[in-house]
Protein backbone atom coordinates (compact mmCIF):
# COMPACT_ATOMS: atom_id res chain seq x y z
CA UNK A 1 0.00 0.00 0.00
CA UNK A 2 1.59 3.29 -1.02
CA UNK A 3 2.39 5.80 1.68
CA UNK A 4 0.27 8.93 1.78
CA UNK A 5 2.36 12.02 2.31
CA UNK A 6 0.75 14.79 4.30
CA UNK A 7 3.85 16.84 5.00
CA UNK A 8 3.60 20.51 5.88
CA UNK A 9 5.56 21.34 2.74
CA UNK A 10 2.46 20.40 0.74
CA UNK A 11 0.69 23.70 0.12
CA UNK A 12 -1.91 22.35 -2.29
CA UNK A 13 -5.56 23.06 -1.43
CA UNK A 14 -7.26 20.65 0.92
CA UNK A 15 -8.79 17.63 -0.75
CA UNK A 16 -12.59 17.60 -0.46
CA UNK A 17 -12.84 13.89 -1.16
CA UNK A 18 -14.39 14.31 -4.58
CA UNK A 19 -11.18 13.70 -6.47
CA UNK A 20 -8.96 16.23 -8.14
CA UNK A 21 -10.60 19.08 -9.98
CA UNK A 22 -9.57 19.27 -13.61
CA UNK A 23 -6.81 21.77 -14.25
CA UNK A 24 -8.69 23.13 -17.24
CA UNK A 25 -12.08 24.88 -17.32
CA UNK A 26 -15.20 22.73 -17.18
CA UNK A 27 -16.97 22.35 -20.51
CA UNK A 28 -20.63 22.57 -21.46
CA UNK A 29 -22.43 21.68 -24.66
CA UNK A 30 -25.91 22.03 -26.10
CA UNK A 31 -26.96 19.47 -28.71
CA UNK A 32 -30.03 20.14 -30.84
CA UNK A 33 -31.68 16.75 -31.06
CA UNK A 34 -34.22 16.01 -33.76
CA UNK A 35 -35.71 13.00 -32.02
CA UNK A 36 -39.42 12.16 -32.13
CA UNK A 37 -39.86 15.39 -30.19
CA UNK A 38 -37.35 18.12 -30.97
CA UNK A 39 -35.41 19.16 -27.88
CA UNK A 40 -32.05 20.55 -26.88
CA UNK A 41 -29.71 18.54 -24.62
CA UNK A 42 -27.96 20.84 -22.17
CA UNK A 43 -24.89 19.16 -20.71
CA UNK A 44 -22.48 20.35 -18.02
CA UNK A 45 -19.20 18.66 -17.22
CA UNK A 46 -19.12 17.77 -13.53
CA UNK A 47 -17.27 15.03 -11.68
CA UNK A 48 -15.95 13.47 -14.87
CA UNK A 49 -19.32 13.08 -16.58
CA UNK A 50 -21.82 15.27 -18.44
CA UNK A 51 -24.78 16.13 -16.21
CA UNK A 52 -27.64 16.35 -18.72
CA UNK A 53 -31.02 17.97 -19.13
CA UNK A 54 -33.42 17.77 -22.08
CA UNK A 55 -34.87 21.22 -22.77
CA UNK A 56 -37.98 20.99 -24.98
CA UNK A 57 -38.03 24.68 -25.98
CA UNK A 58 -34.26 25.20 -25.97
CA UNK A 59 -32.08 27.06 -23.51
CA UNK A 60 -33.08 30.67 -22.87
CA UNK A 61 -31.01 33.39 -24.52
CA UNK A 62 -32.93 36.39 -23.17
CA UNK A 63 -32.66 37.53 -19.54
CA UNK A 64 -35.51 36.57 -17.26
CA UNK A 65 -36.67 33.65 -19.40
CA UNK A 66 -37.18 30.23 -17.77
CA UNK A 67 -37.34 26.94 -19.64
CA UNK A 68 -38.37 23.51 -18.45
CA UNK A 69 -35.33 21.21 -18.34
CA UNK A 70 -35.84 17.51 -17.65
CA UNK A 71 -32.82 15.93 -16.00
CA UNK A 72 -31.77 12.80 -17.87
CA UNK A 73 -29.01 10.27 -17.33
CA UNK A 74 -25.38 11.38 -17.15
CA UNK A 75 -23.49 11.03 -20.40
CA UNK A 76 -19.78 10.24 -20.81
CA UNK A 77 -17.51 13.21 -21.35
CA UNK A 78 -16.54 12.08 -24.83
CA UNK A 79 -20.14 12.47 -25.96
CA UNK A 80 -19.65 16.24 -25.80
CA UNK A 81 -18.52 16.57 -29.40
CA UNK A 82 -21.00 14.09 -30.86
CA UNK A 83 -22.83 15.25 -33.95
CA UNK A 84 -24.59 13.04 -36.43
CA UNK A 85 -27.46 10.68 -36.91
CA UNK A 86 -28.68 8.27 -34.24
CA UNK A 87 -29.98 5.36 -36.35
CA UNK A 88 -33.67 4.56 -36.63
CA UNK A 89 -34.70 1.99 -34.04
CA UNK A 90 -32.17 3.19 -31.45
CA UNK A 91 -33.13 5.29 -28.45
CA UNK A 92 -33.23 8.97 -29.45
CA UNK A 93 -33.15 8.19 -33.17
CA UNK A 94 -32.66 11.32 -35.26
CA UNK A 95 -30.13 14.03 -36.04
CA UNK A 96 -27.94 15.59 -33.37
CA UNK A 97 -26.43 19.00 -34.12
CA UNK A 98 -23.89 20.70 -31.88
CA UNK A 99 -25.80 23.92 -31.11
CA UNK A 100 -23.38 25.49 -28.66
CA UNK A 101 -20.28 24.65 -26.69
CA UNK A 102 -17.92 26.42 -24.35
CA UNK A 103 -16.89 26.50 -20.73
CA UNK A 104 -18.80 27.08 -17.52
CA UNK A 105 -18.10 28.15 -13.97
CA UNK A 106 -20.14 27.14 -10.94
CA UNK A 107 -21.06 30.03 -8.64
CA UNK A 108 -21.29 29.95 -4.88
CA UNK A 109 -19.27 28.72 -1.95
CA UNK A 110 -20.36 25.08 -1.89
CA UNK A 111 -19.20 22.38 -4.31
CA UNK A 112 -21.43 22.31 -7.40
CA UNK A 113 -22.26 18.63 -6.82
CA UNK A 114 -23.77 19.60 -3.47
CA UNK A 115 -25.66 22.55 -4.95
CA UNK A 116 -27.19 20.24 -7.56
CA UNK A 117 -28.24 17.82 -4.82
CA UNK A 118 -29.83 20.72 -2.99
CA UNK A 119 -31.64 21.76 -6.17
CA UNK A 120 -30.21 25.19 -6.97
CA UNK A 121 -27.04 25.68 -9.00
CA UNK A 122 -26.02 29.08 -10.30
CA UNK A 123 -23.49 29.13 -13.08
CA UNK A 124 -21.81 31.29 -15.67
CA UNK A 125 -21.66 30.12 -19.26
CA UNK A 126 -19.00 31.12 -21.76
CA UNK A 127 -20.30 29.74 -25.04
CA UNK A 128 -20.72 31.00 -28.57
CA UNK A 129 -24.47 31.54 -28.07
CA UNK A 130 -25.03 31.21 -24.35
CA UNK A 131 -23.21 33.76 -22.22
CA UNK A 132 -23.46 35.00 -18.66
CA UNK A 133 -25.43 34.11 -15.60
CA UNK A 134 -27.79 31.14 -15.51
CA UNK A 135 -29.47 29.09 -12.82
CA UNK A 136 -30.72 25.52 -12.66
CA UNK A 137 -33.52 25.15 -10.12
CA UNK A 138 -35.31 21.91 -9.32
CA UNK A 139 -39.11 22.14 -9.39
CA UNK A 140 -40.02 20.22 -6.26
CA UNK A 141 -43.72 19.89 -7.03
CA UNK A 142 -43.23 18.70 -10.59
CA UNK A 143 -41.32 15.51 -9.89
CA UNK A 144 -37.74 14.58 -9.25
CA UNK A 145 -36.43 15.27 -12.73
CA UNK A 146 -38.11 18.56 -13.59
CA UNK A 147 -35.86 21.60 -13.40
CA UNK A 148 -35.98 25.16 -14.69
CA UNK A 149 -33.08 26.57 -16.70
CA UNK A 150 -33.17 30.30 -16.13
CA UNK A 151 -31.22 33.10 -17.79
CA UNK A 152 -30.61 35.58 -15.05
CA UNK A 153 -31.37 39.26 -15.47
CA UNK A 154 -28.03 40.46 -14.16
CA UNK A 155 -25.24 39.52 -16.51
MN1 LIG B 1 -31.67 14.05 -26.52
Over the chain (155 residues), what is each successive 10-residue block's mean pLDDT?
39 46 88 97 98 98 96 96 94 96 96 95 98 95 87 83
The pLDDT score that the predictor gives to residue 3 is 41
The pLDDT score that the predictor gives to residue 141 is 75
8 Å CB contact between 90 and 14: no
| Residue 119: C-alpha distances to residues 16, 23, 50, 116 (Å) | 20, 26, 17, 5
The pLDDT score that the predictor gives to residue 23 is 81
Rounded CA-CA distance 116/104 in Å is 15
The pLDDT score that the predictor gives to residue 6 is 38
8 Å CB contact between 116 and 136: yes
CA of 109 to the centre of ligand 1 (A): 31
Q: Is 55 exposed, middle or buried (0-12, 13-18, 19+ CB in 10 A)?
A: buried
pTM of the model: 0.84
H or E element: which one contains 61?
A: none
The pLDDT score that the predictor gives to residue 142 is 66
CA of 129 to the centre of ligand 1 (A): 19
Rounded CA-CA distance 88/21 in Å is 38
Alpha-carbon dihedral 22, 121, 73, 148, rounded to 10 degrees:
-150
CA of 149 to the centre of ligand 1 (A): 16
The pLDDT score that the predictor gives to residue 140 is 79
8 Å CB contact between 147 and 55: no
Rounded CA-CA distance 104/76 in Å is 17
CA of 4 to the centre of ligand 1 (A): 43
Q: Which residues surround ligand 1, an ion (CB under 5 A)?
A: 33, 41
Q: pLDDT tens, 107-117?
A: 999 999 999 99
Amino acid sequence: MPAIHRGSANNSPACDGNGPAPSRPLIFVVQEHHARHLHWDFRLELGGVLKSWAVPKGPPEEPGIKRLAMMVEDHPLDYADFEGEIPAGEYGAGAVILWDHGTWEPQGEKPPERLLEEGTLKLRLHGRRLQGGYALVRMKKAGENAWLLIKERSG
